A and B are shown apart, each in its own frame.
Chain A
């Protein structure tokens, strides 16, 4: 989960490597221990004993001298991250210790502050897709559909082009493009982002937007970085339930609120679960949430294949089950557990998927603490959706492909949501 955020952090760490203090002999020793821990963990637990054709022993011999030479922590993290990169899979990352730290001990716990609006790159342009109610951005009149031209003096076009080319052939392209813009918008508490927009009328406007705490409540799980988690539920047109949440995390709160939202609409004509931009989280929550939509026992979303045994992602029915029309909204920033949920329910014939292809980053992973205090995220298994297809590198293909457009957003429409509503009405 949160691979993109972790990647962004790692990249930022690498950029500041030159400014970092030199390592003490003790830190060097702990980094060496961490390197060996990482290599051994992959060696012992990677689901494919052939490592997908990568000579893992040779990788050790190649990177060991480099970790011995690493002079700063960011440099050491980069070496370890590059070693993991040789596997060419999602869900492998080094998480710096100060990122996953205790909720109360870090001012920036939960990540940096945000500008209060979401962004996608649509046809090469960074477009505002939603604006938080009552946020400084909203107060200043920022509107969905506005194009972002520059942030704090940095033109976005070259950045978007570079990231787009880098991930030209990756299913994660849309995710990385969005993150490349959002990471520029993020910053320290109460700081301001100077953002240049092209508004709905084509006029270039500049706004100084005060950054705010991300929406939702701060949630922590093990050595995952703390994250702000939100869930919202409402009714559309009186008899269509709509549920959206930003991560599969904070299960105590989310499962209860998700279940209550389903039960409050159990007689509704349709239900829409919006997973656009949801990067995933705890895989087991996908099974639990699917239980509110599946009334037959022994159904499964898919199977994860560990080196030791296959593990079925079984759905336990949670009566009263919602049995009406179910639409799931996804986009290229829907990843991991979002893909497990959407892909599984699609394969079971239980849901119709609307939007664009998901990120194709769907490997179950665990996070272990390293001797140097950082943490290692590593995929434990391959995952095959119930339809027999891998999601990694492929993603969930929507039944109905609908793309956001700047024009639709400017006119107050969400074409993906509109398509789902239309489908539900047609089935009444």
Chain B
């Protein structure tokens, strides 16, 4: 799954900003299925994805122009486990994760939170390993609705409707078929927040391409995520996806 989608729960992001300009579609639009399946091909192919059983990504997270940043680490494992930690300087850790059943968030400042309903469903969907291969099990429909410019690049606009939750819109470069932007309404405990995520700088690791630069916009603010390293099939600590004690205590109530 594109890295940008995995990062959504941590940054609680969104934006109404859409610099896309509509282009008249003078050619038949490819089916969304074709675009999504082709994305698998151009980013490494089905066989390469199937070799991945877990992964670790490391990089940095920064509030753009605010002077606040810190290291970011994300672990994922099959079938749908995820743990993410952002360590912001002078603020402390923000953690987000799921063991495949309980989806949660924990921060020094805000305390523990167990996700429910749509918020939980989105977290589990984003934690799903090899999501590009199994998108048909996660979304009930996908439709190509047009061609739009994203920062001067003509893109196919694909609207995906998940089994649970609000539709997401993804923009795929017509030439490369790489995902370059997505918009969605992030469902968080603080409200439904329109978000925009722009991804770039795809790099290859173990035969798989993934974006290393992600800019997310929400509520008029911007967040930059830079991924320095992606490792696949690491020796994952057994307790990596265990619920933190604060979450366990909350769950007992």
- B201 within 8 Å of A (CB atoms): no
Q: How many A-B residue pairs have CB under 8 A?
A: 98
Q: Which of B99-153 contact A (CB under 8 A)?
A: 107-113
Which one of A45, A285, A295, A309 lies within 8 Å of B192 (CB-CB)? A309
Given A287-B110, A319-B253 in contact, is the A306-B68 Cβ separation under 8 Å?
no
Q: Which of B164-216 contact A (CB under 8 A)?
A: 189-194
Which B residues are CB-close (under 8 A) to A308? 14-16, 193-194, 218-220
Min Cβ gap A186→B in Å is: 24
Could you tell me if B66 and A311 are in contact, using CB atoms closer than 8 angstroms? no
Could you tell me if B90 and A311 are in contact, using CB atoms closer than 8 angstroms? no
The complex places the Cα of A250 from the Cα of B90 at a distance, in Å, of 6
- B23 within 8 Å of A (CB atoms): no
Q: Which of B203-253 contact A (CB under 8 A)?
A: 218-221, 246, 249-250, 253
Could you tell me if B189 and A312 are in contact, using CB atoms closer than 8 angstroms? yes
Q: Write out, one digit per residue, whether chain B residues 45-73 have a CB within 8 A of any chain A CB (1) or not (0).
A: 00000000000000000010111100000
Q: Which of A12-20, A201-209, A215-223, A341-349 contacts B (4 or more CB under 8 A)?
A: A215-223
Min Cβ gap B185→A in Å is: 9
Which B residues are CB-close (under 8 A) to A50? none
Range class of the A interface residue count: 35 or more
Which B residues are CB-close (under 8 A) to A252? 90-92, 108
Min Cβ gap B38→A in Å is: 33
Min Cβ gap B176→A in Å is: 30
Q: Which of A309-344 contact B (CB under 8 A)?
A: 309-314, 316-319
Could you tell me if B220 and A255 are in contact, using CB atoms closer than 8 angstroms? no
- A369 within 8 Å of B (CB atoms): yes
The complex places the Cα of A124 from the Cα of B132 at a distance, in Å, of 70
Min Cβ gap A119→B in Å is: 29
Min Cβ gap B190→A in Å is: 5
The complex places the Cα of A223 from the Cα of B193 at a distance, in Å, of 25
Please give me the residue from chain B that is nearest to A316 by CB atom.
Answer: B111
Please give me the residue from chain B that is nearest to A286 by CB atom.
Answer: B109
Which A residues are CB-close (under 8 A) to B92? 251-252, 255
- A368 within 8 Å of B (CB atoms): yes
Given A309-B192, A309-B194 in contact, is the A380-B65 Cβ separation under 8 Å?
no
Please give me the residue from chain B that is nearest to A251 by CB atom.
Answer: B109
Could you tell me if B253 and A317 are in contact, using CB atoms closer than 8 angstroms? yes
Which B residues are CB-close (under 8 A) to A319? 249-250, 253
- A177 within 8 Å of B (CB atoms): no
Could you tell me if B191 and A318 are in contact, using CB atoms closer than 8 angstroms? no
Could you tell me if A312 and B246 are in contact, using CB atoms closer than 8 angstroms? no
Could you tell me if B113 and A284 are in contact, using CB atoms closer than 8 angstroms? no
Could you tell me if B68 and A222 are in contact, using CB atoms closer than 8 angstroms? yes
- A44 within 8 Å of B (CB atoms): yes
Could you tell me if B65 and A311 are in contact, using CB atoms closer than 8 angstroms? no
Could you tell me if B108 and A255 are in contact, using CB atoms closer than 8 angstroms? yes
Could you tell me if A307 and B109 are in contact, using CB atoms closer than 8 angstroms? no
- A366 within 8 Å of B (CB atoms): yes
- A282 within 8 Å of B (CB atoms): yes
Which one of A219, A312, A316 lies within 8 Å of B113 (CB-CB)? A316
Which A residues are CB-close (under 8 A) to B219? 306, 308-309, 311, 380
Min Cβ gap A68→B in Å is: 25
The complex places the Cα of A389 from the Cα of B113 at a distance, in Å, of 27
Which A residues are CB-close (under 8 A) to B63? 222
Min Cβ gap B156→A in Å is: 26
The complex places the Cα of A314 from the Cα of B113 at a distance, in Å, of 10
Min Cβ gap A352→B in Å is: 23
With a 10 A CB-CB cut-off, give which of A319, A369, A380 has the most chain B CB atoms. Answer: A319
- A96 within 8 Å of B (CB atoms): no
Min Cβ gap A365→B in Å is: 11
Which one of B90, B91, B110 lies within 8 Å of A316 (CB-CB)? B110
Could you tell me if B14 and A255 are in contact, using CB atoms closer than 8 angstroms? no
The complex places the Cα of A291 from the Cα of B112 at a distance, in Å, of 9
Which one of A220, A310, A313, A368 lies within 8 Å of B66 (CB-CB)? A368
Could you tell me if A222 and B220 are in contact, using CB atoms closer than 8 angstroms? no
Could you tell me if A316 and B112 are in contact, using CB atoms closer than 8 angstroms? yes
Q: With A252-B92, A256-B108 given, name 6 new contacts (CB 8 A).
A: A44-B220, A223-B67, A287-B110, A308-B15, A314-B190, A317-B253
A interface residues, Cβ below 8 angstroms from B: 44-45, 219-223, 250-252, 255-256, 282, 284-285, 287-288, 291, 295, 298, 306-314, 316-319, 366-369, 380
- A and B contact pairs by CB, cutoff 8 A, 13 listed: A45-B220, A222-B63, A252-B91, A255-B109, A282-B91, A306-B220, A307-B220, A308-B16, A309-B192, A309-B194, A312-B190, A316-B112, A366-B221
